[in-house]
Structure 1
């Protein structure tokens, strides 16, 4: 995300400075006394900074009773995902590791050398024994939730190791395994910690949509990166409507067929937008709300950036750093998040091309989001309470 693109936008530069030098203290490190006492937990937080800076920042501002749990939940699933992403592992080894990974969290001293497609992921797995020790220090109720999600995710990933994402049904199922389950797991963790009500445990459909919205946004944005790594996550049922080969889009990025396919994929992601808002409306803890809301507003802004944007096929498209800072600082209430969704839906509407086969569907989707937002802004919500 380039800072230069925000220089001519004073509100974004102000947000960047506010985020950097304090503001709402979003980036402050969580001063949990256990971290000072526990070497393994300290390692986990240090590693969290390396594998995901943005996620590390929002985890640290969670209430103390849940931040360590979510940190470990993320690292465990990051370790599992690193196994899936390593294209040098044989199918047999990968499938076995994915199916058994959840059991390793109870196997003191277990670690894995030279696995992962990035240095920081290889380092995580090479020091995974520290993650295990920190995990085993958690309350059993949290261990059980994390283990259940890890087992389901690993099994689902293993199912897709040797099979392509052919249909939209495959696509939704894959995204459920790798992201929807994360949303469901977080709901269960929030309810178990009592920072949110037990009602959240019954909202699996909405929690799944939270995960799918983020995952599908990343899959659309990461076309070039994934193609370079010989990975295809766009469903064959969709992209073959527009090109005989997946590589064809990067060879002809400005063709109407390429952009139509891109917009088709964005439409599919946008179908989850109102579910995400419905989920966020349920949350009552301000810190939990911000933790969930920040990735969602970043996702809707990313979709607005990539929609009908031929650069997706030739480079890694990201939103401006200043805009990202502005979104992070604004995502503190449901009213503000709804305003952001409405603004981004309107931005997409302005980019809808005439005569494309799925332009009418895009218009219907953004009109649905806008109507939802108009109604939501007319309602009065109870302000979240600070834990």
Structure 2
């Protein structure tokens, strides 16, 4: 933001200005991958890796930022035994006498003559899937050309020198495929077990994408018919990304090995983000001829039975379109609880941030879209200050759960009783509220001691549940004392709370504030006179 923009923000939205100032001043800055001290882990000293970083910034600045903040060995995975591995064709594999390893249907040879080079694992995973998605999204590529490329992309993505320049001139990520050989070169440096994950996910995803693209091209049906078909499509394009990330987190050793087997939660994590984007990007997708909203929702007689998706943004259909929009939001919200469960499983802080920030932004985006007719006219996004606040707060499962709850409450507050989805919205938001109360009860707060020691639980004295917990704690102490007496050990006496100390601290704080206020008033009067 420029100086004038910042000044305008200060005058019109002072609270947002304060949040952005806090973000810029106190939020940890991402590492500088161009620094010479980072070359050993970022690969910036290699021309091909520098180009990969540039493509990451060009294709997604938001994901680029969170990837650069990942923990060192996760974003940068070395080759096996510090060696370089190259792909071999069938003839060379039979004649080779070197050290070989097999990953799926590919054979790699270990070369000790090449110095070990680090690679950005998640960065490469993103670029591979971005290249695949670019081909699938490009409507200018004929089906007879698109099908063989899509169905063999997992092979081409590890074939040295492979590129593709058949995308339309207006495809925004066309250049990534034109120079895809740099991605192939760097991907072939990845350790075989990690590369196997990327290739396997790419293979699964390309099959689903190819099937949907072929159906649209041969049947003339450009719509997803049912919600089940919509779920399957989101699984292919996003749920598999969640599965791949979980497998990479486990393979890197940053998360537990069993995380890779949490397929349902991983799928829901990716699906929540994908359905949020599909809901928000309605106008952009419709204008580009991409129709992802299922006909079962927008064509339902419950909302007046639209014949075409383009009818939703016509002014005379504004009210009915909002009912369709609320149905899309309800469908996305059913993945929120699984996303929260997934976040509770993560232990590494940078991995948690990597997953939590997009999830909380998805909830903020759903709240922004809900009952917002502007979504049908243009692409809307959450404000920068809101995004900065989410980034700073998305540091632990409890905070994320409370943000999910707060946005669910805002969605429910905007729901209209005349909406056919009113009860569904209430149930979906209630489930999120229930999840938060079950895992993080609202009457229990976490307080940090003044000396910077361990955090402790503080119960809300006005909540009736506090009395139940206190009685249970008292019973536990009495049972513990009885056992100590039975074993001949001294009983630990309870120390009553020193209320006079608390009162003295409050009085001292009050006097300090009063003194400072009087001093400020005196200074103002002194120098203003």
User: What's the TM-score bracket when you normalise by the shorter of the two chains?
Assistant: over 0.9
1:12 aligns with 2:16: yes
Decide whether the 8 Å contact of 1:59 with 1:70 is kept in 2.
yes
1:106 to 133, 158, 162: 158
- Structure 1 unaligned residues grouped into runs of 5+: 382-387
User: Residue 256 of structure 2 corresponds to which residue in structure 1?
Assistant: 197
User: Residue 185 of structure 1 corresponds to which residue in structure 2?
Assistant: 244
CA–CA distance in structure 2, aligned partners of residues 141 and 116 of structure 1 = 35
1:24 aligns with 2:24: no
Q: Pick which of 272-281 and 306-315 moved more.
A: 306-315
1:64 to 72, 96, 101: 72
Q: Which structure has the greater CA radius of gyration?
A: 2
1:44 aligns with 2:52: yes
Q: RMSD of aligned C-alpha atoms?
A: 2.1
2:194 to 139, 142, 147: 142
1:125 aligns with 2:177: yes
CA–CA distance in structure 1, aligned partners of residues 238 and 445 of structure 2 = 31
Q: CA deviation at 1:253?
A: 6.7
- SS at the partner of 2:440? helix
- SS at the partner of 1:356? coil
Q: How does 1:148-297 map to 2 (within 5 A)?
A: 148-161=200-213, 162-163=215-216, 164-241=223-300, 242=303, 243-252=306-315, 255-297=318-360
CA–CA distance in structure 2, aligned partners of residues 6 and 275 of structure 1 = 39
Q: CA deviation at 1:374?
A: 2.3
Decide whether the 8 Å contact of 1:12 with 1:326 is kept in 2.
no
CA–CA distance in structure 1, aligned partners of residues 336 and 316 of structure 2 = 27
Q: CA deviation at 1:114?
A: 4.4
Q: CA deviation at 1:36?
A: 3.0
Q: CA deviation at 1:377?
A: 2.0
Q: 1:215 and 1:175, CA in 2 relative to 1: closer, same or farther beyond 3 A?
A: same
Decide whether the 8 Å contact of 1:253 with 1:313 is kept in 2.
no
User: Residue 81 of structure 1 corresponds to which residue in structure 2?
Assistant: 133
- SS at the partner of 2:44? helix
- SS at the partner of 2:420? coil
CA–CA distance in structure 2, aligned partners of residues 328 and 287 of structure 1 = 12
Q: CA deviation at 1:39?
A: 2.0
Decide whether the 8 Å contact of 1:12 with 1:325 is kept in 2.
no
Q: 1:339 and 1:11, CA in 2 relative to 1: closer, same or farther beyond 3 A?
A: farther
1:345 to 408, 428, 447: 408
User: Residue 384 of structure 1 corresponds to which residue in structure 2?
Assistant: none
Q: Deviations over 1:364-386 (max 9, x none)?
A: 111111121122223899xxxxx
CA–CA distance in structure 1, aligned partners of residues 145 and 30 of structure 2 = 39
CA–CA distance in structure 2, aligned partners of residues 130 and 158 of structure 1 = 24
User: Residue 428 of structure 2 corresponds to which residue in structure 1?
Assistant: 365
Q: 1:8 and 1:246, CA in 2 relative to 1: closer, same or farther beyond 3 A?
A: same
Q: CA deviation at 1:256?
A: 2.6
CA–CA distance in structure 1, aligned partners of residues 169 and 434 of structure 2 = 43
CA–CA distance in structure 2, aligned partners of residues 28 and 253 of structure 1 = 51
- SS at the partner of 1:166? coil
Decide whether the 8 Å contact of 2:9 with 2:16 is kept in 1.
no
Q: Deviations over 1:290-340 (max 9, x none)?
A: 000010000000000001111111111111111011111111111111121
Decide whether the 8 Å contact of 2:273 with 2:359 is kept in 1.
yes
Greater RCO (CA < 8 Å, at least 6 residues apart): 1
Decide whether the 8 Å contact of 2:39 with 2:45 is kept in 1.
no
Decide whether the 8 Å contact of 1:86 with 1:117 is kept in 2.
no
User: Residue 305 of structure 1 corresponds to which residue in structure 2?
Assistant: 368
Q: Name the one with the larger helix percent.
A: 1
- SS at the partner of 1:195? coil
